[in-house]
Every structure is written in C-alpha cells, then in structure tokens.
Amino acid sequence: MIIVLRKDVKQDQFQEIVDMIQELGYHAHVIQGTERTVIGAVGSGRGKDKLQAMENLPGVENVVPILQPYKLASLEVKPEKTVVPIRDGITVGGDEVVVMAGPCSVESEEQIIETAKAVKAAGATMLRGGAFKPRTSPYSFQGMEEEGLILLRNARDATGLPIVTEILKPSDIELICKYADILQIGARNVQNFPLLKEVGKVDKPVLLKRGMMTTIEEFLMSAEYILSEGNKKVILCERGIRTFETATRNTLDLSSVPLLRQRTHLPVIVDPSHGTGHWRLVAPMANAAIAAGADGLLIEVHPHPDHAVSDGIQSLKPEKFDKMMKTLSRFIDAADRKLAAPPQQ
C-alpha cells in the first residue's frame, strides 16, 4: 500500500502513521517527492483493510494499493525519476548522460592509469574496472583483488574519475566499499539474494546488471531486494540476454530501456560491450542506446585489447573510444540531453 500524505501533515501525525504501519507488521519506506511525500507500507503484515482504514487518520490524503509485485521500484510509489548521486556533483538519472569506461580487468598500474587518463580525455565521467572477476572457467584469470582495488584508487587519484567495480560476495563488501564509488552486481549475481540484501544495507550506489536469462519483472524484483533494505541508490544496467543467436555474444535488448521507463523510477544505463561481444558493434549500439532513452553507458576500453586477460575482443582502443564519443555527442544532443562532464581535479 502507498499512504499519500497531505502537504500540511504535522510531524506528530507523520510519526503516528509510521508507528501504526510498523505495528501492523509492515516496513515503512518514506519517499520524498517533489510534489508529495508518500510512505510505502511493504511486507506481509496483518490485514490490508487496516492499512486502507488509515485514510481516516489526520495527515493522510489517501491510501492506494500497489499493483506491481515490485513495490519500491514501481512508478506507483515514486512517479518522479530517481537521480542517484555519485560524488563531486556527478549523478546518474538526471538530464546529463554519463559514460563509465575502462577495462574489463585491472591488470597493472600502468594499464589502468593509462586507460583512465585516455577515457577522461575523451569525455568519460567514471572509470570502470574489475578487481574481482567471475569467470566461467576456474582456470581463467580471477582478478587482482585488493591489489586491483588499490590500483583503481590510484587511477582515481590521478584523474578524479569515480570508480565502478564488481562485488561477488557479501564478505567483500567492507573491503570494496573502502575503494569503490559504485558497487557493481554482475549478471551472474542478479539473483544472488543474500548479496543483494547486504548491498542494500550500505550507503553506496549499486549498479545492478540484468542477468543473461532474467525477465524484466525478475530484474525489477532483484532491484526490490536492494531497495527493501534501505539503499535507494540503485542503477539498472541492460547488458544483453541469451537467445538462440550465435553471431553476437548476447542479444542486446534495447527495448528494455523504454519498457523500464514505463515501469520504474530507477535510472537505466546500457552496456553494449557485453551486449554484443565485439568492438565493431559497440559504437552503433551505444548510439542506439541513447536514442532509446538510456541515462548512460558502460563501455570497455583497453590500451592493448589484443593482450587483455579478459574480453579483449569487445574492448575499444582509446582512439576508437574517442571517435565513438565524438559521434555519441550528436545523439545526446538529438535526445535533448547533455554529456556529463568529467570531474575536475
């Protein structure tokens, strides 16, 4: 249920409403909008009729059922678009389009700092890079772990770019939060519910990637796990789904972008690198993603992709990334938006 409050609600009335929701066995999620304040009563407490009767309380305008199974992620609860703050004035979900770029894996200090400087010069807003890597084969490179996180921090110090990096298990949260600005939940962990619950308890933005075989509803329900624990800084990422097609690594489902727009207030970005699996397809699909309404892009860039320890074939060289950014700017202008500027040091 959504309890819509009157504009003139008093503090003691507000507290009475919250207390009553909790006494009925529900969690009270307060959502401040530009036009109104609502409280989402979420859970399986005692009797929806008692929640409905709260319309009679002073300070309550009306009570509305939430029809979607994902409650806090739904536009029914929050019709205004969520804008997620990152750092240094950078946000995701506002008027400006963000570009997160960098290598699949951190391999060395020279590699990550060279890449960070190159993507910033081309106009990227954030630096992506994996220190912990989930791989299909147990014999593949698994990442540099904390050493990789330290190198990412050094690259941030050298460029000012916020860091986006992946987390694989709850026990790593404290460590990764020391270094990262955004916690990435990869496609393989989209339904790792214990992990989703734990990142929902920290005050860090979370980039949640769609799974290879995850429906839109399942994707939003995964976001709901994070939101229900109190973390409202969730960014959705379309990265392609598995179909019968073998010409590309995945099938990049750009229809998900406008579809998610119709169902959730959360910002949506697109990863055309994993979505296609080949560097030649990245720039065209990045342009298409902006045309579809994406709030940003996640692009793999490597100074020497032929020597990359992972995903070299889908990584752009810095000069190709720079060319892509120049073309992309025209699509951003056509969408009546602006490219978010890299942070100043």
pLDDT band, very low/low/confident/very high, at 18 (cuts 50, 70, 90) = very high
Question: How far apart are the C-alpha atoms of 235 and 76, rounded to whole Å?
Answer: 18
236 and 211 Cβ atoms separated by less than 8 Å: no
**What is the predicted pLDDT for the residue at 142?**
63
31 and 37 Cβ atoms separated by less than 8 Å: yes
Select the more confidently predicted residue: 2 or 231.
Answer: 231
Per-residue pLDDT tens digits for 228-275: 999 999 999 999 999 999 999 999 999 999 999 999 999 999 999 999
- Calculate the average pLDDT of the chain: 93
Per-residue pLDDT tens digits for 138-192: 656 667 889 999 999 999 999 999 999 999 999 999 999 999 999 999 999 999 9
In the CATH hierarchy, which top-level class contains the domain 2-64?
alpha beta
Among 176, 230, 173, 222, CA closest to 200: 230
**What is the predicted pLDDT for the residue at 42?**
86
Mean pLDDT for the stretch of residues 308-321:
94
- Identify residue 217 by its one-letter amino acid code: E
Of 1-10, 249-258, 285-294, least confident by mean pLDDT is 1-10
Domain segments of the chain: what residues?
Answer: 2-64, 84-339
The model's pTM is 0.92
Mean pLDDT for the stretch of residues 310-338:
96
Among 233, 104, 81, CA closest to 165: 104
For residue 185, what are the CA distances in angstroms to 12, 25, 88, 206, 219?
A: 39, 30, 23, 7, 12
**What is the predicted pLDDT for the residue at 104?**
93
Among 129, 90, 164, 120, CA closest to 338: 90
Q: What percent of the chain has pLDDT over 90?
A: 77
Q: Which two tokens stand for residue 296?
A: 């940003």
**What is the predicted pLDDT for the residue at 43?**
80
Per-residue pLDDT tens digits for 89-105: 999 999 999 999 999 99
Q: Per-residue pLDDT for 135 more than 70?
A: no
In the CATH hierarchy, which top-level class contains the domain 84-339?
alpha beta
Among 270, 263, 276, CA closest to 293: 270
**What is the predicted pLDDT for the residue at 50?**
85
Q: What percent of the chain has pLDDT over 70?
A: 96
